[in-house]
């Protein structure tokens, strides 16, 4: 069964360091989402791609976060410098025209 792949599953980093997460969506899915989920809360959309273009990054803290999807397939989310408050689960999801979004297992980030 096709699934969204994310790596790493867990990441511990020191504050002020750079960290990057990778996502490989389901083949053929044009829409890719990055969400941040704080423990006990619902996922919060950070950035949404349609193919290689950003269609919504209104909630992305652009002073420290960046995201790219250069070839319209896999995507990278970067944080530099990381802050203590960035500790969360970072989820990637993809969807086709049907709107149903499939999620990966996420990357659990801990900033110390």
Distance CA 111, CA 36 (A): 14
Binding residue for other proteins (CB under 8 A) from 22, 66, 87, 102?
102
Beta-strand relationship, 65-68 and 75-79: antiparallel
Binding residue (CB under 8 A) for other proteins from 16, 17, 41, 110: 41
Three-point CA angle 22, 27, 33, nearest 5°? 50
Q: Is 11 in the site for other proteins (CB under 8 A)?
A: no
**Which listed residue (50, 53, 80, 110) binds other proteins by CB under 8 A?**
50
Q: Is the peptide bond before 8 cis (omega within 30 degrees of 0)?
A: yes
Name the site residues for other proteins (rule: CB under 8 A): 4, 31, 33, 35, 40-45, 48, 50, 55-56, 91, 93, 95, 99-106, 108
């Amino acid at each position: 069964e096709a699934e969204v792949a994310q790596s790493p599953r867990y990441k511990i980093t020191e504050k002020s360091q750079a960290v990057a997460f990778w996502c490989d969506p389901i083949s053929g899915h044009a829409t890719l989402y990055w969400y941040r989920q704080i423990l006990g809360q619902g996922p919060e959309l950070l950035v949404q791609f349609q193919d290689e273009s950003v269609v919504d990054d209104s909630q992305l803290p652009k002073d420290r976060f960046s995201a790219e999807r250069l070839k319209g397939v896999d995507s990278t989310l970067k944080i530099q410098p990381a802050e203590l408050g960035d500790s969360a689960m970072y989820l990637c999801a993809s969807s086709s025209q049907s709107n149903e979004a499939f999620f990966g297992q996420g990357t659990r980030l801990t900033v110390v």
